[in-house]
Chain A
Amino acid sequence: EVQLLESGGGLVQPGGSLRLSCAASGFTFSKYAMSWVRQAPGKGLEWVSAVNGGGRSTYYADSVKGRFTISRDNSKNTLYLQMNSLRAEDTAVYYCAKDTAYYYDSSGYYLNWGQGTLVTVSS
């Protein structure tokens, strides 16, 4: 059974940093691209970032480009999202999600999601 468990959320001041983690199990982690998707309180879903199975190729939404960095450690079956220069509009539940193929460009929808971790950016 695929399991994705996010952690690292919390309250941070504007301009601050936070690193999210997503521990994966139940599948061969290195064979799949992985993504982060967020949802602001009471709002819809927003794709944030993705990384190919090997970790070399990364992709970002314009809203986070230059501030967020996605990475993965295939030896630890863990996905990360380093978030810097945080803004109030980054407040959201952040979900990690498993892609359907090794390459981001070959996949696109999400069968498996974590339960999410809440990030609140406020002074």
Chain B
Amino acid sequence: EIVLTQSPGTLSLSPGERATLSCRASQRIGTTYLAWYQQKPGQAPRLLIYGASSRATGIPDRFSGSGSGTDFTLTISRLEPEDFAVYYCQQYASSRTFGQGTKVEIK
């Protein structure tokens, strides 16, 4: 099973700041088999990024994904108030697994 490790566990930032979230895989998953989701309390996850760097329909361009192999990054260029949430990465190179999540909280 491919294990995804996200860091940090919690990111405390202010609106307008840049957020950088990391997702590391226990084995190589190529350049296209990685997705990112945002989840707010009481809601289902929302797809942000697929194929490591492609934004889903309707996702603002302040969200960007990058990386390949075992190391991937989700960047939020300037945090808006609605961006404070939990973010998960997910691999689909071999079965499907999720990372444990990174909480982006207001500082």
Contacts and interface: CB of A to CB of B under 8 A. Distances in A.
- Of B35, B95, B98, most buried by chain A (CB within 10 Å of CB) is B95
B73 interface: no
Contacts, number: 49
A73 interface: no
Nearest to B43: A115
B63 interface: no
A111 B88 contact: no
A111 B1 CA distance: 23
B47 A45 contact: no
A110 B47 contact: yes
Interface SS of chain B: helix, strand, loop or mixed?
A: loop
A110 B44 CA distance: 11
B90 A111 contact: no
Interface of A: 35, 44-47, 50, 59, 61-62, 95, 107-111, 113-116
26 contacts: A44-B88, A44-B98, A44-B99, A45-B45, A45-B90, A45-B98, A47-B90, A47-B95, A47-B97, A47-B98, A50-B96, A95-B44, A107-B92, A108-B35, A108-B92, A108-B93, A108-B96, A109-B50, A109-B90, A110-B35, A110-B37, A110-B47, A111-B56, A113-B44, A114-B44, A115-B44
